[in-house]
Structure 1
Amino acid sequence: MIKTKETEVATIQLIEGQIVKITFKNRVDLTPEHTLMLRQIALDWTQGRGYCTFIVPGEFVTYSSEIKDVMAKHEHSKDRIAVAVYQSNLAIKLIVDLFWNITKKKDPTRMFRNENDALQWLRKCRDQHNTSNQHQKLRS
């Protein structure tokens, strides 16, 4: 069952086990509070098991340098397994790639032009993460 929540800046969905899709609205000013709220929803829905994020950016989403600092912190990404971004606009892809290079992403992050490819990659990351966690529990 898909869970859905509408917020001021995005629609967030738990589309399958541990995969959260965030579709940003057009023309929004994203704040650190928004990103922290979306993260908390993902954590609540996945019950602390870790989650993959599938992001569909809206047009003309703006954010401050403060949000870059929040998003780059380990606390913001510690329960996140991987991030896939669906984007067909080359200009936006270049900006996002630059941002990722500056912030030195701690978790696997890729951009896709095809939604199915993005979901397939996220499933692979999730399954590898879960298998690794099972092996660690068995060793304990």
Structure 2
Amino acid sequence: MEIVNANCATLSNYEVLKHLQKVKESKMKHKGQLATITYETIRYLENAPCNDQSPQNITECLKALAPYNLNKTEKLMIINTPPTTALEIQLMIEESEERLTEEQVEQILDIITRYSPHVIKDKVEENEEIE
């Protein structure tokens, strides 16, 4: 077998979680390692930010990020692990200091806050701890 295009498509954690949940709920029972891998991956992803996401939020977030000329991998990292600080954005976006101004970084953080329920939850919990 030959791989024609290794990077044909990438899946977000949300898409992987939903697919594995369908596999788990299907009538075909999987045995052995596949069942273990499916179970462990679902367990991990249910505690990740993707558990709170929806297809609409992901789509709207990607549309809002379009003007920043991010590549597919950068967008995927932002969706899978929503950054909450400028430092995290620097780690996710290659050459971010040359490609983005400080104002653009703040705009990206605002977009992520708007479309990522997980980030909103974390900020509310932080504010409650401070009080």
Higher Rg:
2
Query: What TM-score comes out, normalization by structure 2 length?
Result: 0.26
The structure carrying a bigger helix percent of its residues is: 2
Structure possessing the higher relative contact order (Cα contacts under 8 Å, 6 or more residues apart): 2
The structure carrying a bigger strand percent of its residues is: 1
